Structure 1
Amino acid sequence: MQILINLDANHPTFPPGTLDTRSRSLMETYIKERFFDNLMYHEAVQKDFAVWLEAHQKNSQASPKGKRLEIRKIRSAAEKGLNTTTLLGEMERLHFDARNNVPDKQINFGLSHLIDTDFLARMAKQAGNPDIPITQRRGLMLFGATLMVGIRTSEWTTARLISDNPPVLPGETAAHPILVIQTAKTRKVDPEPRYLILEGFDRGALGMIEACIEMTASMTNGHLGQLVAGMRQAMLRVADSPEAFELIEHIDMRTARKVFTVESRRDKCSPEAVSAALGHTTTNNLRWYAQGDIHCERLTDIPLARATLNAVKKVRDPLADFNERKQLAGGKPLSGYPDLGTDNPNADLDNRGSASLANRLINPQGNR
């Protein structure tokens, strides 16, 4: 027996009051016994279940700890299930969100789907319109360039592009165009510059980046703010639905940095690699930037900058370090992190060398 189900349809089979409690219980038992496994096997149902569970927990009076326990139990079952990779990914997302309360998650999730290849094509067409104000055209250009390189708005004023005869940086095997940035928001008195590898960037993309560098070189924060306002006004004209119009109201230059993060994660870049590209020293802050659907395929075809391999190695994953300390103390490994197999809970943590055991075991380019 094959059944075609529309998960978006919501038409009650029985009008209210026509089905008594016992009859409904019998039908629900039938569906559970006959169709539970067949339904949960499908990826679309697993995603829909995650959406339902998220809404269900929002309306639940259970404690945050109890809600996390529910998610962990389902995640544990998904780790052992057949064809439940999608369910596992969704439960990982819900558990991450439950532990890290990030504001505007739903807005960021919507924006991660709004900005796709079609949206960028309409945005480019708008930028090429000679009738719109120069501030709007420049704002769209800066937003598009930030989507490709992910740097902070303030970092554009110090950026420098090396496209002609770029050197082969330490740890790299080939020469590619390089974007050199003075990292903002750092505690170092004299921070080292950040290098982004522009591998796969064509002349058009490089020319756009160079134009943005020249444009922002002498701009004040006030001028940059005008670009953001102009960019948003131009985008509102390319909105193709009321939902898109509402989401665009929330767009600023930080949105481009967040979409760069989400697209990089969709491209199977590791948390360490993305954090290094963003100018972070740990993976902690990634939760503020990766609030989008990172479990689908890429939605844009633009090139993405990457950090150097040496920079990636310097990024710490605090949970990996905690996983190591926990096991050395005799505890169990964290979910999603390796079992280090140590038999010595009293091992000397001071003699491990500069790189943690966890970082040596985990491929920094892998997608954990």
Structure 2
Amino acid sequence: MMTKTRYVVLALGIVISLHYILSFSHEEYGRLMSFDSLRNQWKGVPVQKSDAQTHVWHEPPYKTPVPEKYYLQPNSTVARRANAVIFMLARNSDLKGIVQSMTQLEASFNGKFGYPYVFLNEEPFSDEFKRSVTALTQSKIEFGLIPRDIWYQPDWIDEAKAAASRQDMVDHKVIYGWSVPYRNMCRFNSGYFYRHELLQKYRYYWRVDPDVKFFCTLDYDPFLFMQDENKKYGFTISLPEYERTIPTLWAAVKEFIAENPELVSPDNAMGFLSDDGGQSYNNCHFWSNFEIADLDLWRGEAYTKFFAHLEAKGGFYYERWGDAPVHSIGAALFARKDQIHFFDDIGYRHEPIQHCPQPPAHTRGQCKCNMGDNFDREGWSCLNRYDRIFT
């Protein structure tokens, strides 16, 4: 018989595996079950008990409301903007999902604030794609091609070793275990997207994926909030990574810290990443399909050296290191903990998980989501770790 611990690991593996299906194959969304139906299948699988599971909601200390001064007053116009962009990585086949995401983002936020878009693709965007998305907004849109040398698997990777690792993942039923294109995407998002020429002129970005949903009216500018309050990284959902995809990642991180202690922020968020002071990784990460962040965090000396260290290990191909844990570890180590912000008031869904704001944010934002369907309340949410770094 399986132990309770192994049941928990199995349940977490299923949840995190869904992340890989949904963040790469947007065309599969309609064929996947809802989170509720999956949860019903897991009846009897023990998970850590929490107030969330009994629907007792306590206002957590990590909720820091955005000050009133950032809100757009009724009948007023936008007085200033940050140097920021909405960034979307997409393929021509993602058009339907892009239309959904853009339509909701324009209605809830960008129709009022008018930030530009940058679309990147490893292949040229079709005329149909360009016409369709251009019709959705009054904002400027730029379409860019990703250079081959920063998208495809590098020549120096030992393909025999990489193929053996991929086969092992297939044998263990790891989602996208065999996929090289998925690994290309993770590597690009981890260390190259912010180097693209179309993003060089911007300081802040909001990553938006195809097929996501935005539930609430956003009457303030999160970019100005990030800029004026000196925030570096913002998120809505956090959860554990699928451990089998990153078996040696933390060893590489510890090696980097030992070699470059001066690059780690003295007031960092290691408490989010590790439950034992950095000896091991608890697998918690910010779900990077939503992130509002300072591009200079990735352009700085610390993250530049950190990514180069990880790149040299080959773990993006010899294993399957994702951009979510890589970005999360980078933000937690190289920014101060008070520079990481939980955007509690932004209602967001990336199948099959959603963040639905609670009162009073739910009412103020006129949110169109069920407050009871909120991943913050699930036993495997990592928000308790985020809370811990401030207490």
Question: How does the TM-score come out when normalised to structure 2?
Answer: 0.24
Bigger RCO (CA 8 Å, 6+ sep): 2
Structure ranking higher in strand proportion: 2
More helix by share: 1
